[in-house]
Every structure is written in C-alpha cells, then in structure tokens.
Structure 1
Amino acid sequence: MKTKTLEVLFHETLKDIYYAERKILRALPKMARGAQSPELRAAFEKHEEETQGHVERLQQVFDLIGKPARGKTCPAIDGIIEEGEEALQAFADTPALDASLVAAAQAVEHYEIARYGTLCRWAQVMGLKDAAKLLEQTLQEESMTDEVLTRIADGSVNQTALQAA
C-alpha cells in the first residue's frame, strides 16, 4: 500500500483539477452559445482560451513532478457542470438565462479557486517553486474570471432577470 503523503495528495488533487479543466473546456462553448448578453458570451469565449492555457500549465506541473498528465474523474465538477446544463435548459429563452449561466460559471470558478489555492500552498511546502508559480498564475486568472462574472452580473444581467419578473 502506498504511503499517504502530501506528495500523493498533491498528485491526486492535480489529477482531479486536470480532469475538471478538460471537462470545463468542453462546457464553455455551450455556455457561450447559450448566453444572450454579448458581454457574457465574450467572457466565456475568453475564458475558453484561458482554460486551454490552464490545461497546458497543468501538463507542465505533471512534467515537473515526473508523472504523466492524467485526470481522474471528479464527481464535484461533473455535478456542477450538470447543474449548469440543467439551468441552460430550464431558463432557455428567458430573461433569467444569463443570470443562471453566471451562477453556474461562478460555481465552477469557486471550485477551481479552492483547488488551485490548495495546490499552490502544497507546492510551496514541498519546495516545488516552478510548479507553485504555474499554479499561482492559473489561480490569479480564475480569480479574475470570477470578478469579471460578478461585474457582468451586477452591470446588467441580474437587473435584466429581475425586471422581467
């Protein structure tokens, strides 16, 4: 039996977020197509490009620890994405659609922020400075995306959903 160390936990969590990022990469185009607001659509399209970069950075981290870049099924992200797809269908062609998409996207961002924050700290503790830098860069991008989504929601999306009530 493998000893349960921080290195093992780091690797397992890395596989989790790698799976999540690849799953998110497939979900973002659907969200962009579903968005009514041009600003929200553009945010999803921009984040799709960033997410490709996140996957590439994760591959670099796997290389740094000498492990193959492989994901492991992440039930948490599967559930969050499933909820987003349900919202997309449930609120299709309604004024609340974009508000539901922002909420779903922020659930994803918050999950990623939690994972990357943890991985950054562990990488630092383990002396993996290069890995920590890569993970920190992604953490900053995820946090910025969350802020952009909040701005879009506060700027128009939530008000549009409310006015239609």
Structure 2
Amino acid sequence: MNIETLHDLFTYRLQSAYAVETELVDVLDELATAADVDALDDVADSSVRADLLDAFETHREETETHVERVETVFEVIERRPETRDVPMLDGLVDETQRFNNIVLNDALRVPYYLNAAATAEELEIRLYDQLLELAAALDLPEEATDALEANRSDDQEALDRLEALAAADELTAAFEELAAQSPET
C-alpha cells in the first residue's frame, strides 16, 4: 500500500489497529496461561495473580468486540478489513516468549506480565488517538468515530486496571520479599 493521502494514512493505521486487536485476542490467552503457573517459589502473589488473570480474560473478551468495531470502521470507509505487520507488537510478543523460556522464579511472572500488558494497552491507545485525529480531519461518519472512541475508552480502562494492580500492596510486598531473597550486587 502506498500512502499518498490522509485517507491512505487513516487506512494504514486502521490496518495496524486491526492487526493489533486480532493478534491480542490470542496473545491475551497465552499471557493468561503463562501467568497461571502455580508459583513454586515462596513468594505469595496469588491474589494479584488472580486479579491479573481476571484482567486478561476481561480484556480478551473486550478485544473480540474491538475487532468487530474496527471491522465496522472498515465497512464505513468501504474498505476490506486487512492487517499488516506491526513490528512494535511483534517485538513485545517475542520478548514475552523469550521471558517465558528463561524465567526460573515464577513469582517474577506477575510483574513482568503486568508491564507487558500495560505496554500493549499503551500501544493501542496511541493508535486510537491518531485514528481519532485522522477521522476528525477526514470528517468521517459518527459510526466510525464512535467505534474508535469506544475501543480507545476500553483500552484506557484496561490500562487503569493494570496500573492499579501494579500498585497493589500485595505486589509491593512480593517485590520486597523478592528483593530480600536476591543476592546483593
């Protein structure tokens, strides 16, 4: 695809959003499975882990709706839904898979997955911010902007939930316990 017009840029970024949303449906399932490893270590994180699993499940369900909304936007602009490579998301997924292969202390999974999920949410939010700016400049119909705004709002709520989990007292206590077990550098 060559990008020559503002509409082309909108379509290009919409393909990015579609790619991210469709891939995240699977990625969120993988993260939930990886985060659900019973901690073999002595660090207690079960409450935060359960909340994280719930956040992944809730957002996976929301993401399925996001895919449908993006497909609606494609319909409004009379384009066929298609994806494109999104190297930023691919890098995040690859890094998470690498982490899964090398992590030996299961208690480290929760903070890692919280950060990875928050990073994915921030990527989505930035995509929707730009799409909404472009949609306004192109004066796209309300049906398109409403769908984009709904996705952006859901992603902000998901990010807020993740940030609240990251600030939870139990996670802070787990960090302190992990730090106490770590050899001095």
How far did residue 164 of structure 1 move?
1.8
Alignment match of 1:148 (pick from 161, 167, 173)? 161
Counterpart for residue 174 of structure 2 = 160
How far did residue 2 of structure 1 move?
5.8
- CA deviation digits over 1:70-125, x for unaligned, max 9? 10111111111112222333335422210000011111111101001110111111
Mapping of 1:72-111 within 5 angstroms? 72-91=84-103, 93-111=105-123
Counterpart for residue 39 of structure 2 = none
Point out 4+ residue stretches in structure 1 off by more than 6 angstroms: none
The two structures, once aligned, show a CA RMSD in angstroms of 1.7
How far did residue 60 of structure 1 move?
0.2
Report the count of equivalent residues.
165
Residue 15 of structure 1 pairs with residue 15 of structure 2:
yes
Where structure 1 has 5 or more consecutive residues not aligned to the other structure, the ranges are none
Counterpart for residue 137 of structure 2 = 125
State, as a whole percentage, how many aligned pairs show the same letter.
27
If the length of structure 1 is used for normalisation, what is the TM-score? 0.93
Counterpart for residue 67 of structure 1 = 79
Task: Measure, in 2, the Cα distance between the counterparts of 1:92 and 1:133.
Answer: 44
Q: 1:3 to 1:54 in 2, by over 3 A?
A: closer
Q: Which amino acid is the alignment partner of residue 74 of structure 2?
A: F
Question: Which stretch shifts more, 123-132 or 109-118?
Answer: 123-132
If the length of structure 2 is used for normalisation, what is the TM-score? 0.83
How far did residue 130 of structure 1 move?
1.9
Residue 58 of structure 1 pairs with residue 70 of structure 2:
yes
Task: Measure, in 2, the Cα distance between the counterparts of 1:21 and 1:124.
Answer: 22
Task: Measure, in 2, the Cα distance between the counterparts of 1:121 and 1:19.
Answer: 19
Q: 1:101 to 1:127 in 2, by over 3 A?
A: same
Secondary structure, counterpart of 1:41 in structure 2: helix
Task: Measure, in 2, the Cα distance between the counterparts of 1:52 and 1:140.
Answer: 15
RCO higher in structure (CA 8 A, sep ≥6): 2
Task: Measure, in 1, the Cα distance between the counterparts of 2:61 and 2:3.
Answer: 38
